[in-house]
Amino acid sequence: MRTANATGKNPILSGSARSVGGSLRVNSMGSRSYDLLWGTTLRATTISHRFLDRISGGRLMRRFPGGAQVVWITTLGRKSGQWRRTPLLGVPVETQDMRGWGIAGSNAGQEKVPGWVFNVREHNEGTIEIDGEILPCIFTEVMGDSARSIYERLGNSWSSYRMYERNIKRDIPIFVAQLEGTTTS
């Protein structure tokens, strides 16, 4: 559960001029237009990515330009009870407490929280696929310095994350797909 600091803001990524989920608005077309345009583009890209993944046996589009790693998560739909496979960008996470992949619920900068976030909050067991290897995992939502570090690394691997953070008012939830056999403190 998130807690607010004295200003009422979520402290997840505070401490810099911009924080994930901040309210600074820089796009001139407005949130609704942005969501409509970018959401349509995102859905078309995701459909294309799924098609290319299927016909290539997972050999194509494992990385974005600049080296961003594509990971596929499989989560149990909280409403449908169906397993859902979603492509995301991820960064490796290895600490004393856990090993896995950091992912963000940015939904490409749209105001709407992506469905997979609700799924993993309801049922945190699933899988993550990295370079064709499918691994069981537990999805753990992280906060504070851990979230800040993961989001910064995602931004370094795919600069659009910085735009996403500027374009939305909501908090961007950060998760670690914690690989089997690791624990959190």
| CA atoms within 13 Å, Cβ hemisphere of 90 | 25
List, in sequence order, every residue forming a beta bridge with 85; answer none if it has no partner.
74
Q: Domains of the chain (ranges plus CATH)?
A: 21-179 (2.30.110.10)
Beta bridge partners of 83: 76
CB atoms closer than 10 angstroms to residue 10: 20
The predicted structure's pLDDT at residue 93 = 95
Separation CA 87–CA 50 (nearest Å): 8
User: How far is it, in rounded angstroms, from Cα 2 to Cα 11?
Assistant: 9
Q: Answer for the pair 169, 21: CB distance below 8 angstroms, yes or no.
A: yes
Q: What is the pLDDT of residue 23?
A: 30
pLDDT tens, the chain, 185 aa long: 333 334 433 333 333 323 343 333 334 445 666 666 766 776 677 667 666 777 767 666 666 666 688 999 999 999 999 999 999 999 999 988 889 999 999 988 888 999 999 999 999 999 999 988 999 999 999 999 999 999 999 998 888 888 888 888 899 999 999 997 655 54
Residue 101's identity, in one-letter code, is W
Residue 22 is predicted with a pLDDT of 34
